Amino acid sequence: MSTLLLGAHMSIAGGVSQALDRASSIGSNAVQIFTKNNRQWQGPPVDEVDVVRWQQEMPAQAVDYAVSHASYLINLATPKDPLWQKSIAAHADEIRRAHAYGVPHVVLHPGAHTGSGEEAGIGRIAAGLNQVHAATPACTDTLTLLELMAGQGTTIGYCFSHLRQIIEQVEAPARVGVCVDTCHAFAAGYDLAQAAGYEAMMEELDKEIGLATVKCWHFNDSKGALGSRVDRHVHIGQGAIGNEGFRLILNDSRWAGIAMLLETPKDDDLKDDVLNLARLCELVADPERIPPGLRQA
Ligand SMILES: [Zn+2]
Ligand SMILES: [Zn+2]
């Protein structure tokens, strides 16, 4: 089996490409970034000098995979037209930014219907994505990854059926993939903490959208209990999922080549990322698959 792609979400303070330095400083070979401030609608223009640095530093620092995460403000499921239009424009901008850096994937929270109902919300998301795609014809190789959600409030995407229904209504389904977040899955009711529950989840995933649609994992333990729908990330092994769930995914050959990225709590010193990645590496059965920078001396 191939070398694992392991990493964490990293800050872009000082420039987007600085995230690569942070990723490699802790020995990881994959990274998630925001391409701009994630709590603002508008970002500065893409810094072409930083794009060049990114393209040099990715191979130089042995970071083999990068994914961006779209702004938390975007809500393609909203029934309110002004917010919907703003969300379409903002997500198109996210796609263009990722494309400028050569980042192949942009994780997107599908959205919240805020009262209009799930079916209406799903239709809005698909229609919104169709507009995003029409607005970004040069970026067909930059995919939107719909994230599996915990199901808080009126959030859409807490089951694989929702994600399938969205993709079915998209005119260019090849431009859409999926990101599975372990915390969200568990909180949504998928019991990946033990082998039988994990296999049941894999079966449903494969039946609904196909395993190949999954382009990355978010690795977070869950503060909330199974089915609680509470979206609270905690350190690996310290939540309701526990080590076993991560062991199952890490050693499953079906995920060879698919990155696994932490979004667990941390400070600027990245010590928590170091600890969580070390914990994950301890769960890997074949030491040859551990990324070189994370192997113990
Ligand atoms: Zn996530
Ligand atoms: Zn979350």
Ligand 1 center to residue 290 CA distance, Å? Answer: 22
The 3-state secondary structure of the chain reads CCCCCEEEECCCCCCCCHHHHHHHHCCCCEEEECCCCCCCCCCCCCCHHHHHHHHHHHHHCCCCEEEEECCCCCCCCCCCHHHHHHHHHHHHHHHHHHHHHCCCEEEECCCECCCCCHHHHHHHHHHHHHHHHHHCHHHCCCEEEEECCCCCCCECCCCHHHHHHHHHHCCCHHHEEEEEEHHHHHHHCCCCCCHHHHHHHHHHHHHHCCHHHEEEEEECEECCCCCCCCCCEECCCCCCCCHHHHHHHHCCHHHCCCEEEECCCCCCCCHHHHHHHHHHHHCCCCHHHCCHHHCCC
Tell me how far the alpha carbon of residue 184 lies from the centroid of ligand 2, in angstroms: 6
pLDDT tens-place string over residues 74-120 = 999 999 999 999 999 999 999 999 999 999 999 999 999 999 999 99
Ligand 2 centroid to Cα of residue 180, in Å, is 11
At 25-74, the pLDDT tens digits run 999 999 999 999 999 999 999 999 999 999 999 999 999 999 999 999 99
Domain boundaries, position 251: 6-294
Residue 72 bears catalytic tag: yes
pLDDT tens-digit map of 227-256 = 999 999 999 999 999 999 999 999 999 999
- pTM, to two decimals: 0.98
What's the total number of domains in the chain? 1
Clarify whether 218 is annotated catalytic.
Answer: yes
Ligand of minimum distance to the alpha carbon of 262: 1
Q: What is the CATH number of the domain that holds 100?
A: 3.20.20.150
| Ligand positioned closest to the Cα atom of 151 | 2
Exactly one of 39, 48, 81, 267 is catalytic; which is it? 39
Say whether 233 is catalytic: yes
Answer yes or no: 184 catalytic: yes
CA of 186 to the centre of ligand 1 (A): 12
Which ligand sits nearest to residue 219's alpha carbon? 1
Ligand 2 centroid to residue 48 C-alpha, Å: 31
- Is 201 among the domain residues? yes
Q: Would 163 be classed as within a structural domain? A: yes
